[in-house]
Amino acid sequence: MKLLDRYSRQVAVIGEEGQRRIRATSAAIFGVGGLGTHVAYYLAAGGFKKLYLVDSDKVALSDLHRQVLYSTSDVGKYKVEAAAKRLGDINPEVEVEPIAEEISPSLAGELAGKADVLVDALDNWATRHVVNRAAVKALKPLVHGAVQEWYGHVTTVIPGVTPCLEELFGRLRSLPSCPQGVCPVLGPVVGVVASLMALEAFKVAIGAPSLAGKLLVVDLKHMSVDEIELARDEGCPVCGYVKR
């Protein structure tokens, strides 16, 4: 069977029903940089139905130590175009739609309506909150991750069930984590955090996310991991009104 040829090692873990669920799931990945390229690679290789890649940036030389879908020959090209070509080579069974646009509320809302799961692989808080609002409005799960230097965190937002990003990080709305293009980070740290994000996207697809209502914080300088339980606030101005 073709299914077992490409996905046999994975099917042995999640079963054929798990693979069918993944094959029926589409994902919108916001940000196709360090985190986003790793996540996109795993989701495409794992057989997700469709990936929407959203990023308006072009590949720079300083990206190549951590953004695994690009090579030196891609410098100067739009990230989403280069990533879509590479993912097509990795798994032509997965449809990939590159969107080289700035993330606006209208674009985020449109993709939240189309995709089954949203992935926040962004590098600034203002845009993360735009995607968070779109996820909440569309009642779509959102896998969020962030990384800097040796550290990172991951959580999964299920509107109406868990806290959303507004509750957790609302005060950071206008404060980007690092200036454009000079965010200090080690490539392997990005890989670890992005792999956790991709794993959560897989788990969302099969109906069993592990980080819904939890914040996983990793300190890879000291090789420590903490899991923080999160309580939902029904007074949140963005997601408090949502009921499940």
With a cut of 50, list the residues of the chain below it in pLDDT: 1, 174-176, 181
Could you tell me if 53 and 36 are in contact, meaning their C-beta atoms sit under 8 angstroms apart?
yes
CATH number of 2-229: 3.40.50.720
Rounded (10°) angle between helices 187-206 and 34-46 = 40
